[in-house]
Each structure stands twice: as C-alpha cells, then as structure tokens.
C-alpha cells in the first residue's frame, strides 16, 4: 500500500511539473534579458495563447528577437480585448515603429498620451514621437518588390458558353457550335511581378509609383495566353482626418503575344479617417480604352466607386458600390454597369490569413444588336455576372509565402450565346523583397 501511495504521489508531482505554466519562466527570462529563451518558451506552449500574461511576455520577447509581425498581432489582440490597459497600446505602437508604420505608431502613442499616463511613460512616448518625426523628415525612398509564381486549372479560358447547340432566327434553325466556340478548359502557369516605390514629400504628403506585370500561359490553347503590364503614379495629401489622392496610369494587354488593348486612366479619391473602425472612401475615374482587334471596344468610361471599410485588429472588410457609364453610345459594346462588391481579410494567426470576395454586376448595353445578328437580331443585350473568390495565405518567412485560391464566375445573359461559367483553382509561391 505504501508503494502504491508513493507511486501516486510521484505521478501527481510528475504531471503537475510537466504541465506547469511557462508564464513565470518567461517573466524571469525577460527580467534577465534572455529574450530568446522567453520567445522559445512561448512557441513551445501555443495552448496558452489567449492568456493575457502569456501573450504579453510573448509579445515582448517577439519584439526583442525581431519577430515584429507576431508582436504586432499579439498586441493588437491584447489592446482590443483590454482597452483600459495602456501598456498593451504602448507595446502595439512600438511594434508599429519597428515595422516603420509611422502613422499607426503615432496614432497609438497620441491616444495613450490623451489618457494622462505616468510621467515616465510620457517621457518614453515623447522620445518615440521625436524619433518618428526624425524618420519622416529624412524622407527616404522605399522600394518593395513581390514575385508570384503559380499554376492551376482554368475551366473556361475563352469565356465561352458550354452549350453545343444554339437556336437562331427566333428558333427557326439550330446552330451547332464547334469546339473553338465552346468553353475550353486548360491547366496554366502564371508569373506576376509587382514593384512599389514610396517617396515621402512631407509629413502630410506622399508620392508612390506602382508597376505590375503578369503573364498567364495556357497548356491547351495559346490563343488565349494573356499578358498585362500596368503602371501608375499616385499623389496623396492628408489634412486632419481627410486624405485626398490623385492617380494616373496606363495598362497594356497582350493576347496570344499580340497587342490587344491599351487603357489610360485618371482617378481622384477621398477618404475620411476620423473613426478607427469605419472609413468611407469615394473614387471617381475616367478611362480611355483603345482596342487593336475590335473598334467597338474603343471606349471612354466614367466610373464612380463608393466604399465603406470596417477595421478590427485581425479583420477588416470593405463594401463597394460601383457605377460605370460608357460615353460612346454609338459603339456596339458601350454599356452601363451597376454593381456591389464585398471583400474581407481575416488574419487567423501571424502566419495564416484568409481572404474572400463576392461581387455582383449588372450590364445594360446601349445599342441594339444589328439585324444581321444570327442569335438575337435587333435585341438589346443585358448581362448579370457573379463572382466568388476565396484565398488562403501562409507566411513561411518574412520573404516567402504560399497561397491557395479558387474562384467561380457566372455570367447570365438574355442572349443565350453569352452565358458562361468559369472556375479557377491555383496555388503557388510569393517572394517579397
């Protein structure tokens, strides 16, 4: 019996030791400035995430070892859950400083100062604010580059109907569509490159230049290989809670390695930044489009976007209302468009993110189809399109990420030949440098 009692006592002590909280050890390691040990302990005990003390020491150690994104995620979570704890807000601001997010860091520091913290905290914050101002005045240019390599399957590379038979001349005859006229599926590979140049002009002004190029190669039919190159510049001016922007750019499209279409655009935008969670935005865009293969696509388009963005520490969403008008009413493909788009980004953990987008658009074509049109002579075309897109991202390291995404698009028309469905599935690697 005594042996059994000793064995039971040993097991109790063993399991109690094995499951002891790491928080005390993390605190001691940080006090001894052994941040790497505290960080390692945190990563060994992910089941403690959500405990405010554990998260706090995890965040402190993450900053010290250079894992700034994890620290940002942790202190955003703590600040949201415990807004009365100013120490979490201070550390959140410090993480933003480490990532050179000057505006976000300044906003959090100013908030803490408004709560009248102790003098030593005020002194520390003022030093950070002075550092932020010095960095802004240095006005360093910044370059960011993203390389994306992927591949997958496209169920309808030519955006064509799946129907094999179509009624013509009001049903008097039935036309048989050949293989090229019906939807064609294909595996594909895609390369995408993006470069961004940021140039601060002053504390309230900034200029940026964006270049994005991509090429999609289809295995089955190269007639629908698509290349695009887009470049634009943007000037931003902030005044109190308002941000104004002016943007101009050009886009060139290639189809089957032949020039297909060129488009120029100018956009004026306004954002209201007073609320930390709700931010409305308005954009007005003028587009001039020139198509090398179809004169009916030479269009001038006016586009109005009204958006409302909602932000939380780990999740943000946007709703956008869209209205477009083609001024070339004599063109066969001129149309008016109305639509709505809902998008969301949820940061599951510092490494895992889930993105989604749903879109609905309605198109009304201005001009009736010609009397010579076999499928719908003298009819005016109306289309409805729906798009659903879901993407998962995993950040393997600061420079390397992985993605997996899928989308489904459906277009319904009052003219059967223009009905089509399309599904894309692709995955790949993202390099950031």
CA separation for the pair 225, 235 (Å, rounded): 34
The CB-based long-range contact list for 331-334 (8 Å cut-off, 24+ gap) reads 331/295, 331/296, 331/297, 331/298, 331/299, 331/366, 331/367, 332/296, 332/365, 332/367, 332/369, 332/370, 333/294, 333/296, 333/297, 333/299, 333/365, 334/296, 334/299, 334/365, 334/366, 334/367
CA separation for the pair 186, 151 (Å, rounded): 11
pLDDT of amino acid 137: 65
pLDDT of amino acid 44: 87
Query: DSSP label at 351?
Result: S
Share of the chain above pLDDT 70, in %: 92
The 10 Å Cβ neighbour count of residue 109 is 23
Q: What confidence tier does 13 reach under pLDDT thresholds 50, 70, 90?
A: very low
pLDDT of amino acid 329: 78
Domain 142-432 has CATH 2.40.50.140: no
CA separation for the pair 335, 382 (Å, rounded): 9
Q: Which CATH number fits domain 2-138: 1.25.40.10, 3.30.70.1400, 2.40.50.100, 3.20.20.140?
A: 1.25.40.10
pLDDT of amino acid 277: 82
- Flag whether pLDDT at 348 surpasses 70: yes
Segment 33-87, tens digit of pLDDT? 888 988 988 888 888 888 888 889 998 888 898 888 888 888 888 888 888 888 8
- Give the pLDDT mean for 93-121: 87
Q: What pTM was estimated for this model as a whole?
A: 0.73
Report how far apart, in Å, the C-alpha atoms of 377 and of each of 102, 163, 372 are.
Answer: 60, 19, 6
pLDDT of amino acid 10: 38
- Flag whether pLDDT at 378 surpasses 90: no
Domain layout of the chain by residue ranges: 2-138, 142-432
pLDDT of amino acid 168: 64
């Amino acid at each position: 019996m005594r042996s059994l009692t000793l064995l039971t006592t040993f097991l109790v002590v063993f399991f109690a030791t094995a499951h002891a909280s790491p928080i005390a050890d993390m605190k001691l390691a940080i006090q001894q400035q052994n941040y790497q040990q505290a960080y390692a302990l945190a990563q060994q005990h992910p089941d403690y995430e959500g405990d405010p003390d554990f998260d706090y020491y995890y965040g402190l150690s993450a900053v010290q070892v250079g894992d700034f994104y994890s620290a940002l995620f942790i202190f955003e979570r703590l600040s949201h859950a415990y807004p009365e704890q100013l120490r979490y807000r201070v550390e959140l601001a410090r993480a933003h400083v480490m990532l050179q997010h000057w505006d976000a860091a300044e906003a959090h520091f100013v908030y803490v100062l408004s709560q009248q913290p102790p003098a030593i905290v005020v002194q520390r914050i003022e030093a950070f604010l002075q550092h932020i101002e010095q960095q802004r005045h240095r006005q360093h240019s910044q370059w960011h580059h993203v390389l994306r390599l992927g591949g997958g399957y496209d169920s309808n590379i030519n955006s064509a109907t799946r129907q094999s038979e179509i009624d013509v001349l009001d049903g008097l005859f039935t036309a048989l569509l050949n293989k090229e006229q019906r939807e064609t599926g294909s595996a594909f590979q895609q390369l995408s490159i993006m470069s961004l140049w940021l140039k601060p002009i002053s504390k309230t002004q900034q200029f940026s230049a964006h270049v994005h190029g991509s090429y999609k190669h289809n295995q089955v039919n190269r007639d629908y290989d698509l290349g695009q190159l887009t470049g634009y510049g943007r000037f931003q001016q902030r005044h109190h809670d308002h941000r104004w922007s002016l943007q101009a750019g050009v886009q060139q499209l290639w189809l089957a390695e032949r020039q297909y279409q060129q488009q120029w655009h100018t956009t004026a935008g306004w954002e209201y930044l007073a609320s930390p969670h709700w931010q409305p935005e308005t954009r007005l865009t003028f587009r001039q489009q020139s198509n090398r293969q179809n004169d009916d696509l030479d269009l001038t388009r006016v586009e109005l976007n009204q958006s409302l963005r909602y932000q939380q520490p780990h999740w943000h969403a946007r709703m956008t209302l869209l209205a477009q008008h083609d001024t070339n009413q004599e063109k066969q493909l001129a149309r008016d468009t109305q639509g709505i788009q809902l998008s969301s980004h949820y940061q599951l953990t510092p490494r895992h993110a889930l993105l989604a987008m749903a879109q609905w658009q309605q198109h009304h074509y201005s001009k009736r189809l010609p009397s010579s049109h076999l499928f719908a002579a003298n009819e005016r075309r109306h289309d409805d399109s729906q798009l659903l897109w879901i993407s998962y991202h995993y950040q393997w390291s600061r420079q390397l990420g992985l993605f997996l995404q899928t989308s489904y698009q459906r277009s319904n028309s009052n003219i059967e030949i223009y009905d089509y469905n399309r599904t894309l599935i692709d995955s790949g690697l993202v390099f950031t440098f």
